[in-house]
Structure formats: C-alpha cells, structure tokens
Structure 1
Amino acid sequence: MPGLDPELSLEGLDDVPPLSPLQPISDEEAVQIIAGPPLPPSSVTLRDYVDHSETLRKLVLLGVDLSKIEKHPDAANLLLRLDFEKDIKQMLLFLKDLGIEDTQLGPFLTKNYAIFSEDLENLKTRVAYLQSKNFSKADIAQMVRNAPFLLSFSVERLDNRLGFFQKELELSVKKTRDLVIRLPRLLTGSLEPVKENLKVFQLELGFQQNEIQHMITKIPKMLTANKRKLTETFDYVHNVMRVPHHLMVRFPQVFNTRLFKVKERHLFLAYLGRAQYDPTKPNYISLDKLVSVPDGIFCEGMAKASVQDFEKFLKTL
C-alpha cells in the first residue's frame, strides 16, 4: 500500500487515513494504471460480464452454456457473486469424485447451476444416504448425470420417494432401486403424473396390479408418459390391431414407441395380409420386433417386401 510504513503495527492500521481518490498523482504513476473495460450497468446477457468475471470465464471454459442459464432471473445474481477458488472449485472436485467426467461438468452445471448455492456437507450427506440404501458409486453417478437436480433434494424427500414407489408398485427393495437407477427423474419430478398414470393403467386400460408392475419395471418411462399418448396407443393396439392385454404386458415397448410408426407398419402388414399378432398361429408377428427393428429388417423379415414397396405404400396414406 503506497505510503504505508512496513514497520507499522497491525494495531495501528485503523489510524492510517485512507488514500483519497482525488489525491494528485504524477504523470509516471498515471501511465502505469491499467484500466479495464467498464462493467455494464445492466445487460440482458451474461456474456457481457464474461470479460469482468473470472468465475464466468472459467465456467465457459468448462462448457457451461450461459445463454441457457441467463433465462433464469436469479442466475446472474448468484454466479456474479461467486468466487471461483472459494465457492466453485470444491464443488467441482466433489462432482468429479462423484463420477461426473470433465466433459459432463458443463452440461450438468448448465442445468443445475444452483448447486453452487448448496452446502457441500448437505450434498455429501445425501450421497451417503443413497450409499446406505445400497446404491453403488456408479449407480449414483449415473443417476446424478441423468437427473442433475437429484442432490438438490433433502434426504427426507429421497427417502419418501423411494418409499412411495416401493409401496404403490408393491416392489421389492432391489426392484425399487433398479427402477430409480434407470429413471432417476422419478425422485425429482412431480408425483401427480405418476399417480394419474397408475389410475389410467388400472381403471381405464384394465391392467391388473401385477401386470402394471411388470410393464413399468421393463419400461419405467410409462410412469411419466403423456396420458393421452398412453390411451391412444392402447386403443389402437388393442382395438384396431386386436392385441390382447397379456401380449402388451409381455411387450410394453409398444407404449414407448411413436404411435404413427405403429400405425404405418400395421397398415402395411394389413395391406399385405400379414398383420397376424397371435403367437399360437402361423406367420406370427412379434409386437416387440414390430416396434423395435429398423425398416430394412421389418420389410424383409416381417412384411416380406422391399423397403421401396413400404415407402411407396406410405405415400398413399
């Protein structure tokens, strides 16, 4: 500090008068002052602040997409207050230790930049809770990558969610664990669509509890799928294609397929006289393969026609 006696005791620092910003300086001192670009008084984009913020610069280098973050009104206030070394570095080390790769940090933080407002010890406690429920380190890393907000929820919330799915679906502990590993959004999203879909399966579509259990353990997304999509798919497959409940239970992938694709293939098979979905009869077409194989295999193996024939037929629809 200019003018400060190096031998001055710490006790006497408060008595040193501050340097006035109006105090004259020499020409030699003036030319040594490097002035940075002025901080924008207001801005609609975080990129205007990157040149002024080491934190933002380093986040951009990590792959954080500021154009997505700035859509949240609280984002700028949070990020511009953070010090990289003090507030961010330890969080990055925690995420890397958790299993988030360097290339995944940017996309993760773009979605959950608010994790920097979390207490690190709370995050470690939530990880410890999941480990106590026999989720492996690899399982937890996969869950956090696929559901970036997972660790932003309390232990009580996580425990209640696991209990809900185990009870409502009558699943074993292992099957409950497997379910949320495959679709960790079940622990972070609203339960209303889940409750609604469970009612739809049972009351509107006529599936039994054990059938619902079997289907959702194979295709967890059925729990959060759009209700209208579920009912329209069921109506077409059951009432038009004449596929019974028990075959849909065996091949629930049909509920995870776009309905127009199911319709196109069924109509082509019907046109050829090959729309036969009963496994007890000749020329059986598996519902699973109908919706999962590429066009070439569908045409050659099931329709016994060429892809060109299929494409010509689609133009008539």
Structure 2
Amino acid sequence: MAICITSAASYIPEEIITNKDLSKRFNQKFDVEEWILQKTGVVERRKSNLSPSKQGFLAAKDLLEKDGNDIDFIIVNTFTGDYTLPQTATLIQEKLGLDQAFAFEINMPCAGPVYALSIAEMFLKSGRYSKGLLIGVDKMLDAIDPEDFLMNVLFGEGAGALIVEKKESIINKGIIDFYLGSYIEGDVGEDYSLKVLAGKSNYPIQNYTLNQKDHFLQMEGRKVKNFICEKLNESINWLLSKHIKTVDDLDYIITHQANKVVIEKCLKDQGIPSSKILKTVEFLGNTGSGSIYITIAEHFARFSEKNKKILICGMGGGLTWGAIFYKT
C-alpha cells in the first residue's frame, strides 16, 4: 500500500504587485527594485480580493471535476480564515458540495502543509478512509501592516490544493516517512519571532491594540532567517540518517517559500544546487499556508516522473517545522 498525491491545483490571483509598484509606494533612500531582488529574489507577488474560503474553493474545484469522487476528509491550512467561527474548512466544504466528507482546519502557516500531509497519511493508513482533499490559503496582504515595507516585499496571496489517496497495489512509493517538531520561544509575547498577538482571549482587539498594530503579523527577520536555515539543515540531516546516502541521491526539494535568497543559500551550504529546488516564490512571494501546496501544483509534472526522491519541508509560525520524504 502507498499513500500518494494523485493530483494538485492552484488558484493564482490576477492582480500583480511588482517591485516597481512597491518602489513607487514606499519612499526609500535606496534602489528598491534592486534591493528586493538581492535580499529576497522576489520579482512580483499576487493579491486577491476574494475571501480565503473562495480562494480555497477555486483551487480545489477543478480537482474535483477530474478526481473528486469519494472524498472522505478535507484538511484546510489557514491562519487568516474568513472568521474565527465558522471554520474556513467547513465553508469550503459547503462551497464544494462535499456533504459526505468531514472537514477541519489547522491554524499553522508555513509548516502546516507538512502536518496536514502527515495527518492524511495516518488517516489513510488506518484503513478507515481512502481519499483526502488538502487545501492551503491565506490572505497574507490583509494580515500585515500596509505601511511595513519589509513585510509587503515578502508576502503574496494564492491558494493550493492536493488530493491524497491510498493505493493498495503500489508499494515503496508516495509518502515514505515524515517527522514533525515544534517549540515556543521565551516567556512573553514580545520574545516571539513570528506573532499576531491581538484578537484572541488573552489580548482582545481594542483601540490600543489597533494603535499598536498588534493585530498584524509581526516578524523578527534575523531570528526567522536563522530558524529557517537551522530547520532546513535538520531536515536534510534527518533524510540522510534514514533514507538516502548522500544529497546527490535527492532529486528535488520543495520548501515553504519564505525567501528565495535565504533558501538557496542554506541549501547550497548543504550541497544542493538551485536546479533541484522547486520554487514559486519569485513570482508569487510568500503565500503563507498556500506556499507548499501551490509549489507542488505548479511543479506537479515532477511527481509524474518515475523513481524520483523528493523532500518536502516547511518551517515557520508556531514555531513549527517538519519534513516528508516522498518517492514517485
């Protein structure tokens, strides 16, 4: 038996925000377009006027027309859902008309798709279910301060969707193994390197939280960069210790699309060339929970190649991280 990603699709918004657009919007004392390319590798990013549930629906609907029979469960990754309640997962379920399935969501950007794939693998191996639909989407440009230059450089919007199935007649293919990790930093909110402090019971949104912009995503860039490199290295070492002899045995790697320059530098230090790194960040930016799903969808032809070894890894908000070893 194998647990395989059998199809993938994405919703890419039409509105494009280029580096030139940001240069006009933010008055900086340096060449904004050149700086963005050197620091992030992002050329442009997309913006959607649609709700997360609508974006998720658009990513998934074409999949269901081709391969949507007998969906047993739906897992949605988002931290910027339509509402606190009802869940975005059940809103998407209703839009798709999948009354026979059950749906839930994971409030975890960045590494969330790795967690969702791991949960789906366990569901499918249990023998109770045969097919799952996984969706990732975030309204990242609504989640950040519109006056924060650095955050607006990094983030974009879009949604991705996968169908994961149990294949009884196949062995030693699909999801071979996974590992997951998490920890919290410090003792108080100010120590967190990725945070949205306001909006829940500990810190309800009020006038002073709005004035302090605590309802927006805030990030300590240097800490996050170090965390990304640390966990990418850990993912590679996990793979080497359990499944491959050298990094030359790895055919492709898909990471959370945090920052092209940082990812390529970290992986180059591990001996992995840019040609093996499957990316979408240059033209979409960091799409949060949709990032890994969109990248799989945009490079899904690689999953049709025979006998390829693929590492899928995510790291970010939580702080959380994880990796999946996949064989085609």
TM-score (norm 1): 0.19
Q: Which has the larger share of strand?
A: 2
TM-score (norm 2): 0.19
Bigger relative CO (Cα 8 Å, ≥ 6 apart)? 2
Q: Which has the higher helix share?
A: 1
Higher Rg of the two aligned structures: 1
